[in-house]
Amino acid sequence: MNPAKWPLVSIRRLLLILLLPGMLVVGAAEVWLSWRTVNDAADAAYDRSLLGAVKSIDSSISTASGGLGVELPYRMLEFFELTAQGQVFYRVATEDGLVEIGSPDLPPPPSPLETGRPQFHEGEYFGQPVRVGSYARELNEPLAGKARSQRIVIQVAETLDARNDFRRGLLLRTLARDLLLMLLATGLLILSITWAMRPLVRFRQEVEGRPPEDLTPMSPDRVPAEVLPLVHAINHHIERNREQGEARRRFVDDASHQLRTPLATLATQVAYAQRESDPQGQREVLASIRLQLEQTIQQTNQLLSMARADGAPLVFQSMDVARLAESATRQWWASAREQSVDLGFDGPDQAIPLRGDPDLIGEALSNLLVNAIRHGGAGCRVTLSVRSMPASPEKPAHVRLRVVDDGPGLPPEDLARAGERFFRGQAASVPGSGLGLAFVRTVAHRHGGHMVVSHGPGGRGLQVDVHLPALGDPA
C-alpha cells in the first residue's frame, strides 16, 4: 500500500492506539497474577488452620494400651468447623490400613507422604469438593503384635465454601485496585501525551501565523529534540524558496537591464527605416535591425538559460562526462573552422562517470567553447580536456573540465571579476552579454563544484577550469 494513501492519524491518537493494547495486555497479566496470588494467599491461610487441626489430633493419639487410641479435641474441631463455615472431616489410620478411625473414604494424597512433612491437596468427598491436609509420622511404640515401628497417617478435610468466599472477596478487592490504577495510568498517559504535544501545537500556530512574505528561518528554541529534524527540514525548504524567489527577482532585473536598451535601439532603427526613402539606405537599416535582433535573441536565450541554471530543479543522472565533452566539441567544430579556429578535444578512452544534469553541463561546456572561439579570434587554438582527478590531502576526488585558448585573454585586473553577471573585459571587442562565464559558474555551484579562471599556459590566452564532485550527489 502506498504510504501517501494511508489515512491521516494524529500522533496523539496513534500513541494511544499503540499504548492502550499494551496496557490491556499488562492488565490481563496483572489479573492472572492477582488470581494466582489470591489463591496462594487463601491456601496459605486456610492450610495453616488445617495443619493446626492435624497437629491437635496428633497430640491426642496414644498407643499405651497396645492399640491405637485417639482422644478427639471436640471443642477444637467445633471451633475449626465454625471458622471454616462448612463441614470438617478427619481420619486417623495406620499406613497399612489395619487400624482406622474417622472418615475412611477421604481422598488419599496424590503422592507418597514424607515423614513429618504435611501435604495439602484438593479432592471430592461424597460429591462435594474438599481441601485435605495429610500428615504422617512414626509411632513412638509399635502396636501389639507388630515387631517394628509403624507410621500413622492423620488427615483433616474441610469443604471449600469459606475458602472460595475468601478468594472471591480478595480477588474482587485486588481487581478493583488494579482497575483504579489502570484508569489513573491511562489518565496520566493522556495528560502526558497532551502536554508533550504542546510544543508541536505552538510550532504549528507559529507557522500558520506567519505572513506569506516572511521567509526567515524558524527558531529551534523550545522545540523537543525529536522535532528538531522537522524544524531543520522546514528551514531548508524556506531557504530554497527564498533562493528561488531571489532567482526570479534577479531574472526580472537582468531581463529589464539587458533588454531595455536593445529594444529601444530597435524602435529607433525601425522609425528611421520608416522615414528613409532611399532603398539602399533602407536595406542598410534593415541589416542593422537584423543584427540587433540576432544579438537580442542571443541575450534573451542566455537570460533564460541563466534563469534555468539559477532556479530550475536539477535532473541528476549517471553519465559519461568524457563522451559528453567530446560531443560538445564536435558540435562546434564547423563554427570553429568558419572562424579559422583550431578546436580540439583531449580526453581518455575510458569512461569518466559523473552524476549530474547532462543538459546543464553540456550547455555550460558549449558556453565555454563559444566564448573561447569568439574571443580567441582567427588563428587561435582552443582545447577542451577532461580529467578524473584522484583524491589528495587538499581536495577530494573530482572531475576537471578545462577549456584553454591561446588568444588575447584577459588583463590581470579583469580575471578577479570573470564570472560576474554582465561583466565584460575592458578590451572586449566582440559583442556579448557577459553571461557566459556567469552561467558556467552557476552550473558548477549547483552541482557542488566550482569554477577557476586563470591565464593560459605561458601567461597567454585564457584557461577556465570547472571542478565537479566525482562520486555521489553534490553536497
Average pLDDT, integer, range 189-217: 79
Strands 61-62 and 119-125: unpaired
pLDDT, position 7: 53
Whether residue 12 is predicted with pLDDT greater than 80 in this model: the reply is no
Tell me which amino acid residue 281 is: G
402, pLDDT greater than 60: yes
Compute the distance between CA of residue 80 and CA of residue 153 in angstroms, rounded to an integer: 20
What is the mean pLDDT of the segment spanning 117-133? 89
Instruction: Tell me how far apart the alpha carbons of residues 228 and 221 are, in angstroms, rounded to a whole number.
Output: 9
Give the pLDDT of residue 474.
Answer: 42
Residue 66 confidence (pLDDT): 64
Query: Between the CA of residue 402 and those of 201, 345, 448, 464, what are the distances in Å?
Result: 54, 10, 17, 6
Report long-range pairs for 242-245 (Cβ below 8 Å, ≥24 apart): 242/215, 243/311, 244/311, 245/215
HSE value, Cβ hemisphere, 13 Å, CA-based, for 331: 15
Which of residues 292 and 345 earns the better pLDDT score? 345
Residue-wise pLDDT tens digits, 407-459: 888 877 777 777 666 555 555 545 555 677 888 888 888 888 898 988 888 88
Alpha-carbon span 218 to 200, nearest angstrom: 13
**251 pLDDT more than 70:** no
Using the predicted structure, report yes or no on whether residue 204 has a pLDDT greater than 50.
yes
Q: Which residue has the higher pLDDT, 390 or 260?
A: 390
What is the reported pLDDT for 75? Answer: 60
| Amino acid at position 85, single letter | Q
High-pLDDT (> 90) share of the chain, % = 9
The torsion angles phi and psi of 115, rounded to 5 degrees, stand at: -60, 130
The more confident residue out of 309 and 267 is 267
Please determine, for residue 295, whether its predicted confidence score (pLDDT) is greater than 80.
no
∠ CA 363-365-367, nearest 5°, is 70
Asked if pLDDT for residue 232 goes beyond 80, the answer is yes
Residue with cell 500513541: 15
For 229, the grid coordinates are 529534524
207: left (phi over 0), alpha (psi -120 to 50) or beta: alpha
Alpha helices (H) in 313-465, listed in sequence order: 321-331, 333-338, 358-376, 412-415, 436-446
Tell me what pLDDT residue 431 has: 54
pLDDT category, 14, cuts 50, 70, 90? confident
Mean pLDDT of 123-152: 80
Q: What average pLDDT does the chain have?
A: 79
Mean pLDDT over 143-172 rounds to 80
What pLDDT score was predicted for residue 188?
86
Q: Of the ranges 15-24, 51-60, 140-149, which one carries the lowest mean pLDDT score? A: 140-149
CA distance 46 to 349: 96
d(Cα 129, Cα 122) in Å, to the nearest integer?
7
**Percent of the chain predicted with pLDDT > 70:** 80
Per-residue pLDDT at 400: 92
At residue 3, the pLDDT reads 46
pLDDT of residue 419: 61
Q: In the beta sheet, which residues pair with residue 467?
A: 400, 450
Nearest in space to 85 (alpha carbons), one of 32, 136, 46, 38: 46
Cα 331 to the chain's mean position, in Å? 47
Cα angle for residues 438, 443, 257 (degrees, 5° grid): 35
The pLDDT of residue 78 is 61
